[in-house]
Amino acid sequence: MMKILLSLLVALLIIVGLYYLAGPALRRAEPVACTEEAKLCADGSAVGRTGPNCEFAACPEAGSGIR
C-alpha cells in the first residue's frame, strides 16, 4: 500500500513539475493579425500597421528617399 501511495505522489510531482516548466509555452498568445489599412505619408508613400498593437509604422522622414 505504501509503495502505491509513494508512486502516485512521485507521479503527481512529475506532472506538476512538467506543467510548471512547460506551462508558459502552452499558454503563448496567438499571433495578432492586423487589418490591411494604409496611412498616407506627407511624401506620398504609404505605411501599414505592424507590431503586437497593430500601430501604423512611422512615415519616412522628408528627404530620406533614394534619388
- Is the pTM of the predicted complex or chain greater than 0.85? no
Q: What pLDDT does residue 58 have?
A: 94
pLDDT in tens, the chain (67 residues): 899 999 999 999 999 988 888 777 666 667 778 888 999 999 999 999 998 889 999 998 865 555 4
Domain boundaries, the chain: 2-56
Distances (CA, A) of 31 to 28, 36, 51, 54, 58: 9, 15, 10, 11, 22
